[in-house]
Amino acid sequence: MAAAADPRRAFEAAAGILLDGIDIIALVLDPAGRVVLANRACEDVLGMPADKLLGRTPLELGFGPREACGDEATGDVEVCDTSGRVRLVAWTSRVLFAPDGAVSCVVATGTDVTDARANEQRLRESERRFRELAENVNDLVAELTGDGVFTYVNPRFETVLGFPPEHYLGSSLDRQLHPDDLDDVRRTVAELAEPGVSRQCVMRLARRGGGHCTLESVARAFPARDGTLRLAVIARDLSERTAAEAELRRADRLVTLGTFAAGVAHEINNPVGAILLGSEIALERERETAPQGHAAQALQRIADHARRCGAIVGSMLAFAAQGRSERRRHDVNQLVQRAARLVQGYARERGARLRLACTPELPPIVGNGVEIEQVFVNLLRNAMESGRAPLSIEITTERTPHGVCARVRDDGDGIPEHTRERVFEPFFSTKGGSGGTGLGLAIARRIVADHGGEIRVEDCAAGTCFAVELPCAGRGPG
Among 270, 344, 419, 437, binds another protein (CB under 8 A): 270
Task: Please say which residue, 433 or 477, places its beta carbon nearer to another protein.
Answer: 477
Strand segments, DSSP code E, in 39-137 are: 72-80, 86-97, 103-112
- Please identify, using beta-carbon distances, which residue of 46 and 276 lies nearer to another protein: 276
Distance CA 242, CA 246 (A): 6
Strands 103-112 and 25-29: antiparallel
Helix/strand/coil for 102: coil
Smallest CA-to-CA distance from 462 within 391, 414, 395, 421 is with 414
- The distance of closest approach from Cβ of residue 441 to another protein in the complex, given in angstroms and rounded to an integer, is 19
289 binding another protein? (CB under 8 A):
no
According to the binding rule CB under 8 A, does residue 454 interact with another protein? no
Residue 220 to residue 200: CA distance in whole angstroms? 9
Query: What does the alpha-carbon distance between residue 320 and residue 232 come to, in Å, rounded to a whole number?
Result: 48
* Smallest separation, CB 305 to another protein (Å): 11
Min CB(266)–another protein separation in Å: 5
Binding to another protein (CB under 8 A): which residues in 342-401?
none
According to CB under 8 A, which residues from 246 to 265 bind another protein?
A: 262, 265
Q: What is the Cα–Cα distance from 387 to 462, expressed in whole angstroms?
A: 12
Based on the shown chain and the rule CB under 8 A, indicate whether residue 422 belongs to the binding site for another protein: no
> Can you tell me which of 16, 271, 293, 351 binds another protein, judged by CB under 8 A?
271
Stretch that binds another protein, among 29-37, 56-64, 183-191, 302-310 (CB under 8 A): 302-310
Spatial distance between the Cα atoms of 290 and 288, rounded to a whole number of angstroms: 6
- Binding of another protein by 158 (CB under 8 A): no
Among 76, 127, 194, 267, binds another protein (CB under 8 A): 267
CA-CA distances (angstroms) from residue 139 to 54, 92, 160?
A: 63, 48, 9
CA 220 to chain centre: 16
Q: Does 3 bind another protein (CB under 8 A)?
A: no
Angle at 247 between CA 443 and CA 410, to 5 degrees: 50
Of 169 and 281, nearer to another protein (C-beta) is 281
Under rule CB under 8 A, residue 295 binds another protein: no
207 to each of 165, 183, 222, how far by Cα in Å? Answer: 13, 20, 28
Question: For another protein, what does the binding mask look like between residues 307 and 326, x meaning CB under 8 A?
Answer: x-xx------x-------x-
* 406: contact with another protein by CB under 8 A: no
Taking CB under 8 A as the binding criterion, the range among 274-282, 388-396, 410-418, 434-442 that sits at the site for another protein is 274-282
Rounded to 5°, angle at Cα 83 from 81 and 85: 60
Among 124, 249, 266, 431, binds another protein (CB under 8 A): 266
Intra-chain end-to-end CA distance of the chain, in Å: 115
- What is the length of the chain? 478
Task: Say whether residue 278 binds another protein (CB under 8 A).
Answer: yes
Would you say 105 or 276 has its CB closer to another protein? 276
Q: Which of 21, 195, 273, 293 binds another protein (CB under 8 A)?
A: 273
DSSP-derived pairing of the beta strands 391-399 and 352-358: parallel
For residues 279 and 303, the answer to whether their CB atoms sit within 8 Å is yes
**In the complex, what is the shortest distance from the CB of residue 411 to another protein, in angstroms, rounded to a whole number?**
33
**Which residues of the shown chain bind another protein in the complex (CB under 8 A)?**
262, 265-278, 280-281, 284, 303, 306-307, 309-310, 317, 325, 450, 452, 477
